[in-house]
Amino acid sequence: MRVIVVLLLLCSNGIFAASYEQSFESRKSWFEQRQLLESALKEGDKPKYVNSLIGADSPYLLSHALQPVNWLQWQSRFENDFASENKLIFISIGYETCHWCHVMAQESFNSEAVAAVLNQHFVNIKVDREQWPLVDNRYKLALEWLKGEAGWPINVILTPEGHILWADSYLPQAKLLKVLNALTHRWQTKPATIRHTAANISAQLNSLAEPAVINNINVNKVVDEVYLQAGYSLQNEAKQGGPRFIREYWLLGLLQKYFEHNDKSALALVTHHVDSLLMSPTYDGINGGFHRYAVDGAWLKPHFEKMLYTQAFMIKVLAQLYIATAEIKYRIAMEQTIDWVETALIQKGGRSSAMSAVSDGFEGGYYYFGTDVKADLDLAGFSLVGNQSSGLVALTDLNKDWTNNEAHRRLIIKRKQNVAPLVDEKIIVSWNAMYITALLEAYSATDNKQFLDFSIKTADELWQTAIVGQKLHRIVFQGRASIDATLEDFAWMAQVFTQLSFYEDWPARVQSTHGSDASKLVSHRERAKWLLDQLVIKYQFSLVQTLDRDGEVPSVYSSVYQAMALGYQSFSEKKYADIAKELINKHADSPKSIADNFSFWASVKGYQSNTVLSHRYFARGHGKVTTSNNESGVLIEVDLEPGWHVNANPSSNEKLIATNVEVLELPELFSVDYPKPILRHLGFSQTELALYIGTTNIIIKLADVANSIPISINKPINLKVTLQACSDSLCLLPEEFILISK
């Protein structure tokens, strides 16, 4: 181990400079395109320094590859031994669209004076937090504890044993040098004192990382508390100033509450929140897409980076709002956001992780308009927000299609004259999976098959590029997969392929994926099973237990629960149910704060509820039921795996439970048309049975009495579905659930 690290350090000092130079030449056009050569120190027309990051699969790490610091990129072996030859460890964590990360890079890490201290006295490790989320999480929690808050960049100094000695965020060069020199001197003169201090810090951090374990949880009580906190926070955040985050999965949880209980106050809270967001510069009504958060409480001053996961969760929110209200504004914003992703973040093999906040040297420069376009802004339904000479723009009217007029097209052309922000081309598997599940929600809300086609194509590309050598990887960059997938990646990808299996024909029954060649799996159901089984193999509660806090995306704890709960619903395998139950039973019975674990409790409530949107598996995964709109009315499609059936309506005799669909509200205004049954002899019956086998379509339409009454149906239709599935050898218990049709 020590030999390897010493060799890496020698490489950085120039012994293998020729190979670094070759790597630079192969990527020179990339550096030129991103104008990174302009800020690099040079000798003649070439960079003066090229370090080991030149081989990285991350735009963020590559942006540090021409610095004088002898950077190493994080490797999994560092979890066990830094092999630092008794040097302190300096770890710097950031990401490509982080403005202050790049400010510190230019001020400090591009400085030969800073590099001289770091190279002589430290082993220097650069981390892209999006590549290594668990590493980032560990040191972010440490920074929160030591400083009271955390933000990026995160800079940490460790002892050679890996104990945290110091942590901070952005520091100007003079302050950083002061810290580095002081700790270097103390390490050289009083190493025992340094080790003692760091060991105490690590011990206290370890004690904080041990969550309470309480069994016999009352899920409904906890969820009620969580929803109450979420509602209160959403109502009061605007008054508290910034930063203000969008809270996408809080909104999804409250929408779930509306659908399940017809809670109109929950729907009103979400619509008010989303409408105010759409009518602010935090939503980009010109090109589409949401900025990650606002620095103020009124959404007027966005932090301009656009993350793929933000778009994914807001697409879901907008899709569900469209189902709930049938208001076209939510569909327009949803489709515009999808169009932005499919235009700005398109990559071979997936979608880019983010678009930077910075353009033309300053934050948000791409998004400003001058008063010279005021007439077009007025015509398109926008207004200037800001000073008189230029400003950001916001929508003024959500009741018209702001994307479908000539003035809007002229504004797009005008904006293209600005310098566009750079895109982090890195493809992150879990974030792409989040986006694919959002496309499926968009399809469910609109029946627009283009969204289903997008999701299938993107999922297949991701599978082909991210799986190499029987392994799923987390990152794809420039066509190359790297870094082993995390639990989060497996969990989200498993959800993708399980959901996609709704829309494919039944493959051969998948019993086991042990020993399967993942790269040769074709059907969505086979791929889902392989991913779920891999997740079971890699699952350790002790690890997941430390990852129970929501951040920009739902916690790993939540994503693993969702994958296991959906897996059990789809495949009926006890091992999936066991993990899902363990995650519930061993979770603390109340959240530390609403920001910590809302997504987990909302997911638990969602999977324990009998109310579902649009589609679900039933019969232990042997049947699928979906709802959609067609020319005749609302279509309920029951699709059964070969060898399975349900009783027709009416059933053959009163002892058999008929398939039944009931409209719960104003049922007298609707009629339900059942298809003709298939008559068949089964071994246990001497008479023919009336059955539905294969795919069966049930149509709901306005009854004759309703046609004579002026009626407008602009809300979801709640349908109580009753089914009892049987094979040729056994019958399952009857199932009853509420299916919500748009």
Q: Could you tell me where in the chain the CATH 2.60.40.1250 domains are found?
A: 615-741
Report the length, in residues, of the chain: 742
DSSP code, position 500: H
> What's the rounded mean pLDDT across residues 131-153?
89
Better-scored residue on pLDDT, 41 or 441: 441
C-alpha to C-alpha distance for 682 and 69, rounded to whole angstroms: 76
CATH topology of domain 615-741: Immunoglobulin-like (2.60.40)
Residues 6+ apart with CB under 8 A from 59: 34, 96, 422, 424, 425, 426, 477
Cα–Cα distance for residue pair 289/339, rounded to 1 Å:
9
- Tokens in use for 521? 């799996």
Write the pLDDT tens digit of every residue in 615-641: 889 998 999 998 887 777 788 999 999
- The three-point CA angle 202-204-206 to 5° equals 70
Query: For 660-671, what is each residue's pLDDT tens digit?
Result: 999 988 888 889
Q: Each residue of 327-378: pLDDT tens digit?
A: 999 999 999 999 999 999 999 899 999 999 988 878 889 999 998 999 999 9
Residue 26: predicted pLDDT: 82
Pairing of strands 717-723, 660-663: antiparallel
pLDDT(209) > 80: no
Least confident of 23-37, 61-75, 169-183: 23-37
The CA distance from 570 to 499, in Å, is 9
For the beta carbon of residue 263, count every other beta carbon within 10 angstroms: 16
Cα–Cα distance, 419 to 284 (Å, whole number): 16
In the beta sheet, which residues pair with residue 273? none
- Give CATH 3.40.30.10 domain extents, the chain: 2-208
Superfamily classification of domain 2-208: Glutaredoxin (3.40.30.10)
The stretches of 296-404 forming alpha helices (DSSP H) are 308-325, 328-344, 374-380
Per-residue pLDDT at 553:
92
Nearest alpha-carbon partner for 525 in 505, 547, 550, 540: 505
Of the candidates 293, 118, 225, the residue with the CA atom closest to the CA atom of residue 593 = 225
**Beta strands per DSSP E along 367-418:** 369-370, 382-386, 390-395
